[in-house]
Amino acid sequence: MLTLIQNGEIYAPEYLGKKDILIVDNKLGFIEEKIEPPHQFVDIKIVDATDKYVVPGFIDSHVHIMGGGGEGSFRTRTPEIQLTQATLAGITTLVGVIGTDGTTRTMASLVAKARGLEEEGITCYAQTGSYQVPLKTLTGKIEDDIILVDRIIGVGEVAIADHRSSQPTVNELTKIASAARIGGMLSGKSGIVNVHVGDSHDHLKLLEEIVDTTDIPIKQFYPTHINRNAHLFEAGIQYAQRGGYVDFTTSTIPQFLEDGEVKCSKALKRMLDAGVPVEQITYTSDGQASLPNFDRDGELIGLQIGQVSSLYKEVKDAVLEEGIPVETAIKVITSNPAKILKLKQKGRVEVEMDADLVLLEKATLEVNTVFAKGKLMVENGEAIVKGTFE
C-alpha cells in the first residue's frame, strides 16, 4: 500500500520545511522536496497536507490501558481504554502500566490488552509490576519478563513517597533497578524503572540515595507525576539538573491545580528556564487512572478518570500560551520518550521509521489526520478505524 502526503510542513521534530512523504506499507519510504506519482502506476492514496504541520505520532508512555484505580472500592475500578480515545488524540504508541491494584489487575491481562490494541492498529508495550514491592511479574522474574516477553520493555510503576506505596527500601529498589537494567541490556530494550512519586516530602530522595551509594546510573529511573505539587516540582528541577529524567502528568482536575499542582505547559517552561535540557523531559497522560483526591488524613473525598486526550492539549498550550517553539514542545511526546524507552522505530519523521504521523492544522494546531503504522486512523478529525467494541 502506498500513501503520498503532499505539501505539508514537517517537524521531525526539528523543522524540515515543506516536503512530501511517501508511505510504503507501514514505513516512511521517502521524504523529498517533491514526489510526483507516476502515470499508469498502482493506486496511490494522495493526502493534501497544505496548511498543515506533519509531526511524529504521539507516544504516551504511562497509561492504565486495562483500567486502574479502585481507591474508592470495587465500583471505582476505571474502564479500559478504547482505540479511538488514543487515535483521536494523535497517540499512535502506548505503554501500559498497572498502578495501585496489583491484585485484581494482573500482568497477564495487561499483556493481553496490549496485544489487543496492537491488533486494532496501534503500537502498545507494557511495564512489568505495579505499585507494590516485591513486584508481581508475569514469569516470576523481572529479567525473564523483559528478555522473553516482546511487549514488556521495563518495570513500573513502582510507588515511592506515597501513602499508597509499599514503602520500598533503598536495597529493595536497587535490586529492582539492577534486574531491570540487566534485562534491558540482554534484550536490547530500555529496562527502565518507571517510578510513581507521591505527595510526601521525601520526594526523590530514595532514588538519589541509590544513585549516590550504588553503581546504578540516574537515568535508570523514570520518575513520573513530578508536577503534582510545588515542592515536588522544585525537587524535580534539582533532580533533572543532576541528569535525571522527569515526567509530567497531563491528566488533572481544577481542584488539583488549585491545590498547587503545576500545569504541564507551565512546568515545561519553568524547567527549560532552569536550564534543564528538553531531552530529559516528557509528558504522559496517566490515562484511565483514577484521579483520587485525598484529604490530609488520607481519606478519599473525590475521584475522576485520567484522559489520554490531555497529552497533546498540554503540548499545544505550551506552544500557544507559553511561547515554546513547536519543534521543542513536540519532543516531550515524540522523540524524547522514544529515546528514553529505546523505541527505535518511533518518535521521528525519518526514512525507514514506522509510518506513525499526525497532521496538525497550522492555524489552530488541532489534530486533523492520524496514521498509525501506515494505516489511516483519523481523517479530518473523525475516526476512520474504530476498536472492536466501539
Cell readout for 165 is 506505596
User: What residues does 59 pair with on adjacent strands?
Assistant: 93
- 145 in active site: no
Report the alpha-carbon angle 184-187-190, nearest 5. 35
For residue 262, which amino acid is it?
V
* Pairwise CA distance, residues 319 & 11, whole Å: 14
Q: Which of 286, 317, 354, 356 is catalytic?
A: 286
* Pairwise CA distance, residues 182 & 167, whole Å: 24
Beta strands in the chain (DSSP E): 2-11, 15-24, 27-32, 45-48, 52-56, 58-63, 91-96, 123-128, 152-160, 192-197, 221-224, 246-249, 281-284, 290-294, 300-305, 357-361, 367-372, 375-379, 382-383
For residue 160, which amino acid is it?
I
Cell readout for 179 is 534486574
* Pairwise CA distance, residues 367 & 379, whole Å: 9
* Pairwise CA distance, residues 183 & 331, whole Å: 27
Contact 207, 244 (CB under 8 A): yes
What are the b/e assignments for 249-258, b being 16+ CB within 10 Å?
bbbbbeebee
Angle of the 264-273 helix axis to the 310-320 helix axis, nearest 10: 50
Report the alpha-carbon angle 255-207-179, nearest 5. 120
DSSP state letters, 309-322: THHHHHHHHHHHTT
Tell me how long the chain is.
Answer: 390
Strand order in the sheet with 91-96: 58-63, 91-96, 123-128, 152-160, 192-197, 221-224
Contact 288, 95 (CB under 8 A): no
**Enzyme catalytic residues:** 286
